[in-house]
Amino acid sequence: MAKNVSGSDASLPRNTDNPAAVADKIARFRPNILAFVGKRAAQVFFRHRFRKSKIDYGAQTERVESTALFILPSTSGLAVRYWNETPWRDLAAQIKTV
Protein backbone atom coordinates (compact mmCIF):
# COMPACT_ATOMS: atom_id res chain seq x y z
CA MET A 1 0.00 0.00 0.00
CA ALA A 2 2.90 2.33 0.80
CA LYS A 3 5.44 1.10 -1.74
CA ASN A 4 8.27 3.53 -1.08
CA VAL A 5 8.38 3.56 2.73
CA SER A 6 8.80 0.97 5.44
CA GLY A 7 8.41 0.70 9.18
CA SER A 8 5.74 0.02 11.75
CA ASP A 9 2.17 0.99 10.89
CA ALA A 10 2.31 3.93 13.29
CA SER A 11 5.42 5.35 11.64
CA LEU A 12 4.15 5.30 8.05
CA PRO A 13 3.07 8.68 6.71
CA ARG A 14 -0.57 8.48 5.56
CA ASN A 15 0.09 10.41 2.36
CA THR A 16 2.27 7.57 1.03
CA ASP A 17 -0.63 5.09 0.70
CA ASN A 18 -1.77 4.42 -2.85
CA PRO A 19 -4.89 2.24 -2.84
CA ALA A 20 -5.70 3.22 -6.44
CA ALA A 21 -2.37 1.74 -7.59
CA VAL A 22 -3.19 -1.50 -5.76
CA ALA A 23 -6.60 -1.66 -7.47
CA ASP A 24 -4.92 -1.03 -10.84
CA LYS A 25 -2.47 -3.89 -10.23
CA ILE A 26 -5.31 -6.22 -9.29
CA ALA A 27 -7.09 -5.33 -12.54
CA ARG A 28 -3.91 -5.77 -14.59
CA PHE A 29 -2.60 -9.01 -13.07
CA ARG A 30 -5.97 -10.56 -12.12
CA PRO A 31 -4.87 -12.74 -9.20
CA ASN A 32 -7.37 -15.31 -7.98
CA ILE A 33 -6.75 -14.19 -4.40
CA LEU A 34 -5.20 -11.13 -2.79
CA ALA A 35 -4.30 -11.22 0.90
CA PHE A 36 -3.52 -8.17 2.98
CA VAL A 37 -1.11 -9.10 5.76
CA GLY A 38 -2.01 -6.69 8.51
CA LYS A 39 -5.11 -4.61 8.98
CA ARG A 40 -3.83 -1.08 8.32
CA ALA A 41 -3.22 -1.52 4.59
CA ALA A 42 -6.51 -3.38 4.24
CA GLN A 43 -8.36 -0.58 6.02
CA VAL A 44 -6.90 2.01 3.67
CA PHE A 45 -7.83 -0.08 0.62
CA PHE A 46 -11.35 -0.96 1.79
CA ARG A 47 -12.07 2.64 2.76
CA HIS A 48 -10.94 3.85 -0.66
CA ARG A 49 -12.44 1.10 -2.83
CA PHE A 50 -15.63 0.16 -0.98
CA ARG A 51 -16.14 3.11 1.41
CA LYS A 52 -16.07 0.56 4.21
CA SER A 53 -14.41 1.45 7.51
CA LYS A 54 -15.15 -1.68 9.61
CA ILE A 55 -13.30 -4.82 8.53
CA ASP A 56 -12.48 -8.11 10.19
CA TYR A 57 -9.80 -10.70 9.58
CA GLY A 58 -10.52 -13.52 7.14
CA ALA A 59 -12.26 -13.86 3.79
CA GLN A 60 -14.14 -10.77 2.68
CA THR A 61 -17.45 -10.65 0.83
CA GLU A 62 -16.15 -7.85 -1.41
CA ARG A 63 -14.19 -8.68 -4.55
CA VAL A 64 -12.22 -6.70 -7.07
CA GLU A 65 -13.53 -8.09 -10.32
CA SER A 66 -12.93 -11.83 -9.85
CA THR A 67 -10.24 -11.46 -7.17
CA ALA A 68 -11.15 -12.80 -3.73
CA LEU A 69 -9.87 -10.69 -0.83
CA PHE A 70 -8.50 -11.85 2.52
CA ILE A 71 -7.30 -9.91 5.53
CA LEU A 72 -4.72 -11.71 7.65
CA PRO A 73 -3.20 -10.86 11.01
CA SER A 74 0.27 -9.37 10.74
CA THR A 75 3.20 -11.68 11.33
CA SER A 76 5.06 -8.86 13.10
CA GLY A 77 6.03 -9.45 16.70
CA LEU A 78 4.44 -6.07 17.47
CA ALA A 79 1.05 -7.52 16.49
CA VAL A 80 1.27 -10.70 18.55
CA ARG A 81 -1.83 -9.80 20.58
CA TYR A 82 -3.90 -9.97 17.36
CA TRP A 83 -2.47 -13.27 16.20
CA ASN A 84 -4.96 -15.90 15.16
CA GLU A 85 -4.11 -18.70 12.76
CA THR A 86 -7.70 -19.28 11.64
CA PRO A 87 -7.65 -16.69 8.81
CA TRP A 88 -4.34 -18.15 7.60
CA ARG A 89 -5.83 -21.66 7.56
CA ASP A 90 -8.92 -20.39 5.74
CA LEU A 91 -6.71 -18.79 3.11
CA ALA A 92 -4.74 -22.03 2.69
CA ALA A 93 -7.99 -23.95 2.20
CA GLN A 94 -9.16 -21.41 -0.40
CA ILE A 95 -5.86 -21.63 -2.27
CA LYS A 96 -6.24 -25.42 -2.49
CA THR A 97 -9.54 -24.98 -4.33
CA VAL A 98 -8.13 -22.61 -6.97
Of 59 and 15, which is predicted with more confidence?
59
- Count CB neighbours of 9 within 10 A: 15
How far apart (Å, rounded) are the C-alpha atoms in residues 12 and 15? 9
Mean confidence (pLDDT) of the chain: 91
Helices 19-29 and 39-50, interaxial angle, to 10°? 80
Secondary structure of residue 12 in the 3-state scheme? coil
Domains of the chain are 9-97 (3.40.470.10)
Of 74 and 54, which is predicted with more confidence?
54
Give residue 70's pLDDT band: very low, low, confident or very high (50, 70, 90): very high
- Note the pLDDT of residue 74: 86
